[in-house]
Structure 1
Amino acid sequence: MEVLLMFGHPPGRFSPSEVASRLDIDRNQAFRCLRTLQHVGFVRLDDDDRFVLTPLVEQLAASAQPQTSLISAARLSLDDLLQATGETINLFVRNGETLIGIDHREGLKPVRLVTQLGQSAPLHAGASPKAALAFLSPGEQAAILAQLPSYPRYTTSTATSPDALREELDVIRVRGYAVSDGDIDPDARGVGAPIFDAAGRVTGAVSVGGPSSRMTLQRLAELGERIVITAHQISRQFGYNGPPPTI
């Protein structure tokens, strides 16, 4: 399926070697995948010895259902993340320069974070807000950073310097996820990653977190890798065909 999704990217025609290189797999494996897709009719071999899509994909596209809501698209991924981590999960949708909490899963441990749905959060603090901010366009980021002095300072760890927050956003883009280390609640830590729509725009974010006593640096790193995978799964439900937000 990853090979098939490759054809949604330019130039839309690939040799087995090019598929192997892009997906970092063995050439023989890439060739077998392409032959399987060719056998069922999704791709054909063109005159330049590269594979291209066939009109069969148009038949599938015609059967595609209208875009679902973010809550519906994320439901199974949130359930899986809860079972895998046992920590509190939060789902946010973007509303201009804020995120709004629209769904959550309560942690399974006796001591856990408690969140409220419907709260609106600016994008300067918290794992999900900072994850969303990091992947906005430069113009959108600049507009928000210019307003930073007017945003609430929740704790002594809340960012107040545009330059310092800009540096943190650079790290987030490289790493693929944001870390909240007491910048909203001094006793809480978590990680968050952005959710993209079919056009590659940030449409929301998802986070997982817990008490600082349990969220060690190693634990945050482990959860960070997992939250990127979860966010990417949800993004795929919205037609996003790009890679996970990691370099």
Structure 2
Amino acid sequence: MTLTELYAKGEGRSINKATKRVFDVLATFIGATAPLGASELSRQLGLSRNMVHRALVTLAEEGYLLKSDPGGRYVLSYRLVELQNTAVAPPDLREIARPCLAHLSEATGETAQLCVRSGDVQTIIDGIEGGGPVVVRVKLGRATPLHASNASRAILAACTNAEIEDYLKRNAPLTRYTPATLTEPDALWQEIGAIRKAGYALSFGDYSPGTIGVAIALVDFDARPFGAIVVGGPASRLTDAWIQEHLETIRSAVANLNSITSLYQAP
């Protein structure tokens, strides 16, 4: 699901398809670590190479892309900064994240939650509960240290090594909440390495026994982790097969959300 499909769901009949293609192409550049060309964008977006080429030429002529090399690859230009009105405060994070939460809860049938970091803890500020008689309840305002729970560990793993070392020193000895809580620095560092490699954190009863979930960090304009999106439910229902079935959906939705949050600086 592309950025415009996710946040314009249900309004397809009012969308100009040519304009939508241009925005889809532009959105693909957000967060890209290397120049992009028509061929690779065509594969990523499922559009013909000619359609992508026309969108690239249009964006370049309007000054939003710059040609990076003679081969026809492009990068974002600084003209995008003109689109941000510095006189207007950044939108509320809950408003930005709400469509993502709704999409994930509907797609997976489980609870989707938004957490934000405040110092050495992360706090649940919004969520949509899943269906069924047994679900993970959204506990607004619950604060959890950064070494316990999948959301916390997703945020911690996205921090720099120096920031993690500082957290470990200031909070030693780490508090144990369940027998599975990682309180030894070596074990936590090993888990951080696994999260960084996978790109997400899994829960294993280290804070809330009996629940399983997938958490992915949210980053701001400076690539600082300031929160996380978590999708979870009862361990009896969320098997390894469930995780594999829904992982790409979760990854894609959070990547789309990060393409928006990375335009702003977290407080």
The bucket for the TM-score relative to the shorter chain is 0.7 to 0.9
**Post-superposition shift, 1:149?**
4.9
Following TM superposition, by how much is the alpha carbon of 1:222 offset from its aligned partner in structure 2, in angstroms?
Answer: 3.4
Q: Which moved more, 1:150-159 or 1:178-187?
A: 150-159
Quote how far apart the aligned CAs of 1:170 are.
0.9
Pair 1:69–1:188, CA change in 2 (3 A):
same
Q: Give deviations 1:56-109, integer Å, cap 9, x for gaps.
A: 646534589531121111011111111111111111111011101111111111
| Aligned residue among 177, 182, 206 for 2:200 | 177
CA shift for structure 1 position 34: 1.5
Deviation at 1:214, TM superposition (A): 0.7
Separation of aligned partners in 1, 2:181 and 2:141: 22
Change (3 A) 1:240 1:23: farther
Q: Cα offset for 1:31?
A: 3.1
Conserved? CA contact 1:148–1:162, under 8 Å: no
- What displacement does 1:121 show? 0.5
Alignment partner of 1:79 is 2:102: yes
C-alpha spacing 1:200/1:55, structure 2 compared with 1 (3 Å): closer
Q: What RMSD in Å do the two structures reach over aligned CA positions?
A: 3.3
Q: What is the CA distance between 1:192 and its match in structure 2?
A: 0.3
TM-score normalised by structure 2 residue count: 0.74
Runs (5+) with no aligned partner, structure 1: 242-247
**Equivalent position of 1:195 in the other structure:** 218
Task: Say if 2:56 is the partner of 1:34.
Answer: yes
Normalised by the length of structure 1, the TM-score is 0.79
Deviation at 1:48, TM superposition (A): 6.4
Could you say if the C-alpha distance between residues 37 and 117 of structure 1 is closer, same or farther in structure 2, counting changes exceeding 3 Å?
A: same
Counterpart of 2:10 in structure 1 is none
For 2:68 and 2:138, how far apart are their aligned partners in 1? Answer: 54
* Candidates 121, 124, 145, aligned match of 2:168: 145
Aligned to 1:106: 129
Q: Does 1:4 align with 2:26?
A: yes
